Amino acid sequence: MKRFWGLAAIISLIFILAGCGGKDGFTVFIIDNQGNPSGISEQLQTKLQQKLGEEPKVEIITSAMYDVQKILVEYAAGSHDIFILPENDMKQYGQNGSNVPLDDTFDPKKYERGVFEGSVLVEKGKGDDGSDMKKETHLYGIPLEDMQMFKDVNYAPSNLFATIPLSAANIEESKKVLKALTE
């Protein structure tokens, strides 16, 4: 039993230390269930950084293999500012309240494929069934096929969507970067 508590203490310490120090820069995480996005990461990162200027410092992180567990881990870690993932995964996380509505920044009529009923965080107890979540229809994702920067690097598959996780360090900055990827 002592061994269990010792191991639990070490794991807790690792999580605490991992959270210390804050996050440097801005990250975009890409995972594709129909291809490997690794080949575009450097070119995309360079183009995006040129468009944004020196700040924020952007890093494109790709997963060479599709794995639903990998997506879960990346969402749970809360260390990415934009996710680019398959439509079904984007919708699943949006329905669970993990993605930010984008209606205030993008025209939902222009990106109809990214509009669906999802959950949004509301004032404590003001949601559906007295919870903190409420089902609402919003624009939660932008199709890559409609994003100019992905067209420019010849990687705009119709199955992928860009979305902003609720855990993004700065949601307004995330929207600014998503807009830069789109225009």
Checking if the pLDDT of 9 tops 80, the result is: no
Other Cβ atoms closer than 10 A to 89: 21
Q: Which residue has the higher pLDDT, 19 or 120?
A: 120
**16-45 average pLDDT score:** 77
The number of angstroms, rounded, from the C-alpha of 65 to the middle of its chain's C-alpha atoms is: 17
Bridge partners (DSSP) of residue 82 are 28
Q: Which residue has the higher pLDDT, 9 or 110?
A: 110
CATH of 24-94+141-182, one of 1.10.357.10, 3.30.360.10, 3.40.190.10, 3.30.930.10: 3.40.190.10
**144-161 average pLDDT score:** 93
- The three-point CA angle 132-136-142 to 5° equals 115
Break the chain down into helix, strand, coil percent, rounded to 5.
Answer: 45, 20, 35
Mean pLDDT across the chain: 84
Cα 123 to Cα 14, 75, 99, 101, distances in angstroms:
32, 22, 17, 16
Q: Is 122 helix (H, G, I), strand (E, B) or coil?
A: coil
pLDDT in tens, 34-93: 988 988 999 999 999 999 988 889 999 999 999 999 999 999 999 999 999 999 999 999
Strands 142-143 and 160-163: antiparallel
Checking if the pLDDT of 8 tops 70, the result is: no
pLDDT in tens, 102-115: 999 999 999 999 99
**Residue 51 Rama label (left phi>0; alpha psi -120 to 50; beta):** alpha
Predicted confidence at residue 25, as pLDDT, reads 79
Other Cβ atoms closer than 10 A to 159: 17
Predicted confidence at residue 22, as pLDDT, reads 40
Domain ranges of the chain: 24-94+141-182
Predicted confidence at residue 42, as pLDDT, reads 93
> Which range among 8-17, 20-29, 50-59 has the greatest average pLDDT?
50-59
Predicted confidence at residue 170, as pLDDT, reads 93
Residue 24 pLDDT grade (very low, low, confident, very high; cuts 50, 70, 90): low
| Distance from C-alpha of 174 to C-alpha of 183, rounded to nearest angstrom | 14
